[in-house]
Structure 1
Amino acid sequence: METEKQILSFNCGDQVFGLDISYLREIIENQTLTRIPLMPEHIRGVLNLRGNVVPVIDLMARLWGKAAPVSKLSCILVVEFSGEDRKETLGLFVDSVNEVLRLPSENIEHTPDLGARIRTDFMDGIARVDDEFIVLLKANMVLNLEELSRVHESLDLAGNEWGEDEPLEDEQETSALAGPASGDKPADH
């Protein structure tokens, strides 16, 4: 049984969220994204991450329907998880990153059924840190399978074969803060 979890805490709107670091691939600075036509507003666009096309979700728009303002502290959390038939990589646009917390299991409560400000299927639980609560998100639930499929189809129509290792033009190193070392792989979820 797990006795402790490592959680990355970050801000989105006036809420502090947490994400199990096993989902986290890296944290990158905010940058110009390529918009995808006919996508919902919470899909900010795609970025070129060392030759890979990564869709970026505006977490504030996804959760509350209002686009997040851009600031000097805004950044993109690149997360990876197991999808239906392949590994999925997404960027989560957030207001700012706080810190990595080591939380004892007894400080993490199951997702409440009532009174949550966000849909509970996005939640992995709620963590108590001192006198405050942090909503823990499930990276694999930020976009549902239908939305992921639409993003993939749009990229294919635009001529970008999803999952290909061919670099895009003007490939650039975008990492501001690295996640696991290049030889380490995030855990499957």
Structure 2
Amino acid sequence: MPEHTQYVTLGVAGELFAAPVSKVQEILDMQPIARLPRAPSNLLGMIDVRGQGVPVLDLRQTLGLPDAPDTENTRIVVLTVNGPVDPVTLGLRADRVYEVTVLDSDALDPPPAVSASWSNHCILGIGRRNGAFVTVLDLDRLLGDMPGLAAA
């Protein structure tokens, strides 16, 4: 039986997103985040993960979605993405983490090409899980080429 790609499914603003499990190091409960002066609005600050300073990005703001307060379901997903030079470890604040799962099919639909002005560069493809659409994020392109992000 062929090996199926596994994903961590995330809830953000009522939508379902997925990240390849190969990028995920761990999932943490929400914790205090040390703010950084003059940081971009989607960069919440830094957390300590086993002695390593890890920048935390707000997935809502990174995707252009409205802010929302933390809840008991808010999580920080610690990821490794390919940065401009080296791999970069960072945290991503998500409204909730659902499960590690496979999608209904390994084949992803391409993102819709609706207009040249809409940037779909952060979408790897559209999959389905139990019949619901799941947007699979291209984490390297979404997070790895952010200005000012360098290996810690």
TM range (shorter): 0.7 to 0.9
In structure 2, relative to structure 1, the CA distance for the partners of 1:124 and 1:8 (3 Å cut) is same
Q: Does 1:15 align with 2:15?
A: yes
Larger-Rg structure: 1
Which residue in the other structure is 1:105 paired with? 106
Instruction: State whether residues 58 and 68 of structure 1, in contact with CA within 8 Å, keep that contact through their aligned partners in structure 2.
Output: no
1:49-79 C-alpha deviation (Å, 9 max, x unpaired): 1111111010111112522320001010000
Structure 2 counterparts to residues 107-186 of structure 1, below 5 A:
108-114=108-114, 119-143=119-143, 145-147=145-147, 149=148, 151-152=149-150, 163=152
Query: What CA RMSD, in Å, does the superposition of the two structures yield over aligned residues?
Result: 2.0
In structure 2, relative to structure 1, the CA distance for the partners of 1:109 and 1:85 (3 Å cut) is same
Q: What is the TM-score when the length of structure 1 is the normalising length? A: 0.71
Which residue in the other structure is 1:175 paired with? none
Cα shift at 1:142: 2.7
* Secondary structure at the counterpart of residue 60 of structure 1: helix
Instruction: State whether residues 84 and 144 of structure 2, in contact with CA within 8 Å, keep that contact through their aligned partners in structure 1.
Output: no
The percentage of aligned residue pairs carrying the same residue is 26
Displacement over 6 Å in runs of 4+? none
Q: Does 1:90 align with 2:90?
A: yes
Which residue in the other structure is 2:36 paired with? 36
In structure 2, relative to structure 1, the CA distance for the partners of 1:124 and 1:15 (3 Å cut) is same
Which residue in the other structure is 1:6 paired with? 6
What is the aligned length? Answer: 148
Instruction: State whether residues 42 and 67 of structure 1, in contact with CA within 8 Å, keep that contact through their aligned partners in structure 2.
Output: no
1:98-130 C-alpha deviation (Å, 9 max, x unpaired): 111113323x21222128xx8411111000123
Consecutive unaligned residues of structure 1, counting only runs of 5 or more, are 153-161, 164-189
Q: What is the TM-score when the length of structure 2 is the normalising length? A: 0.87
Instruction: State whether residues 30 and 75 of structure 1, in contact with CA within 8 Å, keep that contact through their aligned partners in structure 2.
Output: yes
Which residue in the other structure is 1:58 paired with? 58
1:129-148 C-alpha deviation (Å, 9 max, x unpaired): 2321000111222335352x
CA distance in 1, matches of 2:136, 2:24: 13
Q: Does 1:76 align with 2:76?
A: yes
